[in-house]
Amino acid sequence: MPKKGTKEWFDFRSTQLANVEPVLREVETGGEKDPDNAIGDGGKAVGRYQIHEVAVEEANRLAARETRRLGVPLQVFTPDDRRDPEKARRMLDITMRFHFDRGRTNLVDLAGRWHDPYSATDPEYKEKVIKAIQKLGIKP
């Protein structure tokens, strides 16, 4: 693991964040004909990343935090944005950056934060992530 703040660290971070997106898309809606309209968890999870409303709230909280810290324009998401591929991707990116910057740098652990943001990743979900990484030919 490169030293935080170095060019190598930012390159590693960029690679891991780019790799986590296809892995999560595969785990959450792999094989769906219309992933942006996929519904799971009894109607609670929506879209290509199976986003719950609480995850929309979390993305808004983290987006506001980035606005305060970095001065970037504030982005506010709604539950309907879970079906929009670009907005859903931005919610994913914001959330994954937060967890990467807090030490979840391993691809399997990082992807696990999507399913269990603040607790240990369920072993069954972890196995799905490992299989998706292998299927996609991504180096973890």
What is 7-135's CATH number?
A: 1.10.530.10
Q: Which two tokens stand for residue 61?
A: 């909280």
pLDDT in tens, 36-70: 999 999 999 999 999 999 999 999 999 999 898 88
pLDDT in tens, 78-107: 999 999 999 999 999 999 999 999 999 999
Distance CA 128, CA 136 (A): 12
Q: Structural domain boundaries of the chain?
A: 7-135
